[in-house]
């Protein structure tokens, strides 16, 4: 097989890149190791920055997002038993975020790709990347008992944190930065009405909690839990009881419980790979970086990587210019590190860290008091939460 860009991974990064390249007339094949249903079955994030919304519109896929997505102009911080609204819209001169599940975005992208009859290989095994330090990179994989080869101009590593692309880079050519947090997030999805109009981030003596949503009838909740916890040990009743203990009176009274549609525990990690380009292979999305979910940046960083990468490929094929691909890594990393900082800061502010002792606890409370009482501090939170501008 021959294509211009071989994309590894059919998550949001790979699918969005494939759609943008297709619209620009650039041939691409996506190779995904899971089935399409498996990819769609993953429950992930749900907050879109304007940069992501604009990119989905640019890909021509914004119709359902705008019809079903919920525009939010604020979030609430709950600590010491009180809720404080951060007016995202007011502090950023009118910017908002949109609540639209990653699963729905992935569905839109998958359906558009199938409708355009673009080549996507699902359930591929033994995926491997070759000769990406030459001008003739290759991808091989097994499917239905046969080994297949794709000759291409470029490889886009959109294969997530556990993918093969980053793992195929020679050790001396890559630097990895990592911080693992001493707790996980126990998430629950339910067809119950959200407990509040906007998201509630709670810092409580029992630990962090997040009240999020997917629609007016579907809610997503998270609890900070020890890394040693197993999801099997958490019944729905135990989850709802613990969540209630971490809410204020009003939210507790409004909470509607119900059977979980999905329940899982995810670890929290900050991770960045430098650089993101290795000859003719480029890392985008979780393949190159991971953020703790507190700041809702994972999907949005994948989108900004794809914005830079699709622009670079279009520049190469239309203008035979290598400026975009030469500057890809530097442009992405500038934005990635700012999002990593914000996600680390917000995680450090909102979670319980017993190892920091009483002094650490008092500092956390002082920072929260300062944050909600200072327009400057609230503006800093707001402009990072809605997403920093994407620089050319």
When binding is defined by CB under 6 A, the residue of 44, 85, 148, 269 that contacts ligand APR is 44
Q: Which is nearer to ligand APR, 44 or 341 (CB)?
A: 44
How far is the CA of 338 from the CAs of 15, 31, 132, 166, 389, in angstroms?
A: 25, 31, 29, 22, 11
**Does the protein bind ligand APR through residue 292 (CB under 6 A)?**
no
How far is the CA of 327 from the CAs of 11, 153, 388, in angstroms?
A: 24, 18, 19
* Interacting positions 95-124 with ligand APR (CB under 6 A): 102, 124
**Does the protein bind ligand PHB through residue 339 (CB under 6 A)?**
no
Q: Residue with structure tokens 């195929």?
A: 168
**Does the protein bind ligand APR through residue 187 (CB under 6 A)?**
no
Residue 37 CB, nearest distance to ligand APR (Å)? Answer: 12
**Does the protein bind ligand APR through residue 307 (CB under 6 A)?**
no
Binding segment (CB under 6 A) for ligand PHB, from list 140-148, 239-247, 289-297, 353-361? 289-297
Helix (H, G, I), strand (E, B) or coil at 374: coil
Which residues are within 8 A (CB) of 162 and not within 5 positions of it... i.e. 6 or more apart?
none
Q: Residue with structure tokens 């939010």?
A: 72
**Does the protein bind ligand PHB through residue 294 (CB under 6 A)?**
yes
Characterize 230-266 residue by residue with b for buried, 16 or more Cβ atoms within 10 angstroms of its Cβ, and e for exposed.
ebeebeeeebbebbeebbbeebeeebebeebeebebe
Sign of the dihedral defined by the CA atoms of residues 88, 89, 93, 96, in that order: positive
Which residues are within 8 A (CB) of 277 and not within 5 positions of it... i.e. 6 or more apart?
283, 325, 328, 329
**Does the protein bind ligand APR through residue 29 (CB under 6 A)?**
no
Q: Which is nearer to ligand PHB, 308 or 385 (CB)?
A: 385
**Does the protein bind ligand APR through residue 299 (CB under 6 A)?**
yes
Residue 206 CB, nearest distance to ligand APR (Å)? Answer: 25
**Does the protein bind ligand APR through residue 248 (CB under 6 A)?**
no
**Does the protein bind ligand APR through residue 45 (CB under 6 A)?**
yes
**Does the protein bind ligand APR through residue 336 (CB under 6 A)?**
no
- Residue 197: which of 180, 213, 184, 177 has the closest Cα? 213
CB 127 within 8 A of CB 164: yes
Residue 212 touches which member of ligand PHB, ligand APR, none, C-beta under 5-8 Å by kind = ligand PHB
The catalytic residues are 72, 201, 293, 297, 385
Contacts with ligand PHB by CB under 6 A lie at 45-47, 199, 210, 212, 220, 293-296
């Amino acid at each position: 097989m021959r294509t211009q860009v071989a994309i590894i991974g059919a998550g949001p990064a790979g699918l969005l890149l494939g759609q943008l390249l297709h619209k620009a007339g650039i041939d691409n094949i996506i190779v995904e190791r899971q089935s399409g249903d498996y990819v769609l079955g993953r429950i992930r994030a749900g907050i879109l920055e304007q940069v992501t919304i604009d990119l989905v519109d640019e890909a021509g896929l914004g119709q359902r997002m705008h019809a079903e997505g919920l525009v939010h102009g604020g979030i609430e911080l709950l600590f010491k038993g009180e809720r404080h609204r951060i007016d995202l819209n007011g502090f950023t001169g009118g910017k908002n975020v949109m609540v639209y599940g990653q699963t729905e975005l992935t569905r839109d992208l998958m359906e558009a790709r199938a409708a355009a009859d673009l080549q996507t290989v699902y359930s591929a095994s033994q995926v491997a990347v070759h000769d990406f330090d030459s001008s003739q990179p290759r991808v091989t994989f097994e499917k239905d008992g046969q080994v297949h080869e794709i000759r291409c101009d470029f490889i886009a590593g959109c294969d997530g944190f556990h993918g093969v692309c980053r793992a195929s880079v020679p050790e001396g050519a890559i630097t990895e930065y990592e911080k693992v947090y001493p707790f996980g997030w126990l998430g629950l999805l339910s067809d119950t009405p959200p407990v509040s109009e906007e998201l509630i981030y709670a810092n409580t003596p029992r630990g962090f909690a997040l009240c999020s949503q997917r629609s007016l009838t579907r809610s997503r909740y998270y609890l900070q839990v020890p890394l040693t916890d197993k999801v099997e040990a958490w019944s729905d009743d135990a989850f709802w009881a613990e969540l209630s203990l971490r809410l204020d009176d009003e939210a507790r009274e409004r909470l509607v419980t119900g059977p979980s549609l999905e329940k899982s525990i995810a670890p929290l990690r900050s991770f960045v790979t430098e650089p993101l380009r290795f000859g003719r292979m480029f890392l985008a999305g979780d393949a190159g970086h991971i953020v703790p979910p507190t700041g809702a940046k994972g999907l949005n960083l994948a989108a900004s990587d794809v914005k830079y990468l699709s622009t670079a490929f279009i520049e190469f094929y239309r203008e035979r210019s290598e400026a975009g691909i030469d500057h890809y890594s530097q442009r992405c990393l500038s934005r990635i590190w700012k999002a990593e900082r914000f996600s680390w800061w917000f995680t450090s502010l909102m979670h319980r860290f017993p190892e920091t002792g009483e002094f650490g606890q008092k500092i956390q409370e002082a920072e929260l008091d300062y944050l909600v009482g200072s327009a400057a501090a609230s503006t800093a939170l707001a402009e990072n939460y809605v997403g920093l501008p994407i620089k050319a």
